[in-house]
Amino acid sequence: MNRNNDTHSVLMGYLLWIFGFIGAHRFYYGRQITGTIWFFTLGLFFIGWIIDLFLIPSMDRDADRRYVAGPTDYNLCWILLTFLGVFGVHRFYMGKIFTGLIYLVTLGLFGLGILYDFLTLNGQISERNTAAQGY
């Protein structure tokens, strides 16, 4: 299984960095623990957020090594989650129609589903891409 594909984008990382004081770019790169810390401390009181400006290229390389590329695009799915997550659009995109419908009628399962997806989306996509490749 080739895990050295370009799964994440440096440009997307920098765009999410704009919202980085709430950990958006860290969640995107699969760093759930520090993403959660950034969320509750406003990017470690904005200092960590500024430092991350220089760390994004290495976070991107690490994410490209950790996750499997395939038909489900990480960037599109993260955009859909970030801006339309309460409607479950990212779940429809991944082919998870049932949970997409649940998100649609419960506003992202009352927000908790969106939090769950911020913590697990990269793994969900990687698993889906691995299955699509027949591994």
Domain boundaries, the chain: 1-66, 71-135
Q: What pTM did the predictor assign? A: 0.89
Percent of the chain with pLDDT over 90: 91
Whether 81 and 118 have beta carbons less than 8 Å apart is answered as yes
Distance CA 89, CA 28 (A): 17
Question: What are the C-alpha distances in Å from 122 to residues 48, 66, 106?
Answer: 22, 9, 23
Mean pLDDT score of the chain: 93
pLDDT in tens, 74-129: 999 999 999 999 999 999 999 999 999 999 999 999 999 999 999 999 999 999 99
In the predicted model, what is the mean pLDDT of residues 2-30? 88
Residue 62 has what pLDDT?
97
Structural tokens at position 90: 């990212």
Separation of alpha carbons 52 and 68, rounded Å = 24
The DSSP letter of residue 76 is H
